[in-house]
Amino acid sequence: MALSAQQKLDLLSLAKDHWLNAESTACAYERALKSAKQRSEWLKIGTIIAALLTTASGFAGETWVTVVTGLLTTALATAERLYSPTENHQKYWGCRIELFGVKDNLVTFSITLDALDDLMKGAQPLSQFGQQIVAVTQKMPVTSTEEDMRKARDSFQLATMARMIARAETEAGFVGEIEQETMLELPEDAPDVVPAYRPQMQKIGGTRI
């Protein structure tokens, strides 16, 4: 027996959560990539300066030049050892690409929902996708911010899955409703202002959600 409209919606909602998690984490990796690139550029500049000071110390014969060169070289070596910007840049990039792959798989899964005849058959791959996201972040841990999640939600509105969920909500019997009870009184000096109302989702014949 094919999945019911509500079961499809439940699976799509879970797929959406994984999609948002993958996208927000990808945004965090993008920030990490920019940071690693910036560190790499500073290290390159520092290396050039150290090379110039080393050359100058050979001609100047000044002790302070030799000391500064030694300190700078030590600082560069320490920064390279602590941050490894070049190596981390490659790892961040790889993790980001893997998350894009998970997102593509989630979309493919959503498209093939109509072919499923059992709820558990849909829940199992979704669980695997969630585990894949965790596995990726364990390779190179990053912390997603509220801004990352905001960007992920904005991106989702333009994604194919958003249209699938909207269609599934319609099939499951959900319609938009204007919440009239939240109407606000407008000031007398705003005659041309039109009030806007926040839509809610309500299931036909059921309770409001």
The tally of CA atoms less than 13 A away on the side-chain side of residue 59 is: 4
Asked if residue 12 lies in contact with residue 164, where contact means CB atoms within 8 angstroms, the answer is yes
The domain locations on the chain are 5-172, 174-209
Contacts of 80 (CB under 8 A, 6+ apart): 43
Q: Rounded to whole angstroms, what are the CA distances from 189 to 167, 182, 195, 197?
A: 42, 21, 14, 20
Q: Which of 21-30, 58-67, 112-121 has the lowest mean pLDDT?
A: 58-67
The confidence score (pLDDT) of residue 172 equals 80
**Cβ-proximal residues to 199 (8 Å cutoff; 6+ apart), any chain:** 176, 177, 178, 179
Q: What is the mean pLDDT of residues 181-192?
A: 48
Higher-confidence position of 120 and 40: 120
The residues with which 178 forms a beta bridge, in sequence order, are 199
CB 11 within 8 A of CB 122: yes
Asked whether 50 and 102 are in contact (CB, 8 A), the reply is no
Higher pLDDT, 135 or 117: 135
Instruction: Give how far Cα 136 sits from Cα of 13, 23, 44, 132, Å.
Output: 22, 13, 29, 6
Q: Alpha-carbon distance 63 to 70, whole Å? A: 11
Return the pLDDT at 83: 59
Whole-prediction pTM value? 0.67
Q: Is residue 77's pLDDT more than 70?
A: no
Residue 26: closest CA among 133, 177, 167, 165? 133
SS3 readout for 3-37:
CCHHHHHHHHHHHHHHHHHHHHHHHHHHHHHHHHH
Q: Looking at the predicted structure, is the pLDDT value of residue 21 above 90?
A: yes
Rg of the Cα atoms in the chain: 27
Average pLDDT over residues 110-127: 88
The residue that leads in pLDDT, 70 or 107, is 107
Is the pLDDT higher at 149 or at 206? Answer: 149
Is pLDDT of 166 > 70? yes
Structure tokens at 204: 């036909």
Give the separation between CA 95 and CA 138, rounded to whole angstroms.
Answer: 10
Give the per-residue pLDDT at 145. Answer: 94
Distances (CA, A) of 87 to 22, 39, 175: 22, 12, 51
Q: What is residue 80's predicted lDDT score, i.e. its pLDDT?
A: 59
* pLDDT beyond 50 at 131: yes
